[in-house]
Structure 1
Amino acid sequence: MISLREGEIPVIEKRKPYALVAITKHGVSHARGYAEKFPYADLYYMKKFEQGDEETRQIQLFDGTVRLLLPALFQQYKGIICIISLGAVVRMIAPLLIDKKKDPAVLVVDDKGQYVVSVLSGHIGGANALTHEFANAIGAAPVVTTASDVQKTIPVDLFGAQFGWMWDSEEKLTPVSASVVNEEHVAIVQETGEKDWWMYDREMPDSLKVYPSIDEAIKAKPQAALLITDRILEPHEEALLENGVLYRPKSIVIGIGCNRGTSMAEIEQVIDDTLAEMRLSKKSVKAVASINLKKNETGLLELTAKYNWPFITYTPEELNEIPMQNPSDTVFKYTGAYGVSEPAAMRYADAKELLLEKKKSGNVTISIAHVNFEEGNQ
Structure 2
Amino acid sequence: MVTNQDADAAAPGAGATVDPMRLASRWRSRPEWNCASAELEAEPSELNTVNSSGLFSVVSTDKLSVKYLGSHHHGHDVGVVQADRPAPTRRAVYYFEMGVRNAGYKGQTSIGFTSESFKMRRQPGWETNSCGYHGDDGHLYRGQGKGESFGPKFTSGDIIGAGINYLSQEFFFTKNGTLVGAIPKEIKGPLYPTIAVHSYGEELTVNFGKEPFCFDVEGYILEDKMRQQSVSDKLNLEPDISHWIVRSYLLHYGYQDTLNAFDMANATDRPTSRQNGNAEPPEMYGLSHRKLLRQLIMSGDIDSTFKRLREWYPQVIKDEQSVICFLLRSQRFIEYIRDSVALLAYEKPTESCLGYLMDSSQREFVADAVNAAVLSTNPTVKDPESCLYSCLERLLKQLTVCSFERRAFNNYQGDAFLLHKEVQNYERSRRS
Q: Give TM-score scaled by structure 2 length.
A: 0.19
Larger fraction in strand: 1
Q: Which has the larger radius of gyration?
A: 2
Larger fraction in helix: 2
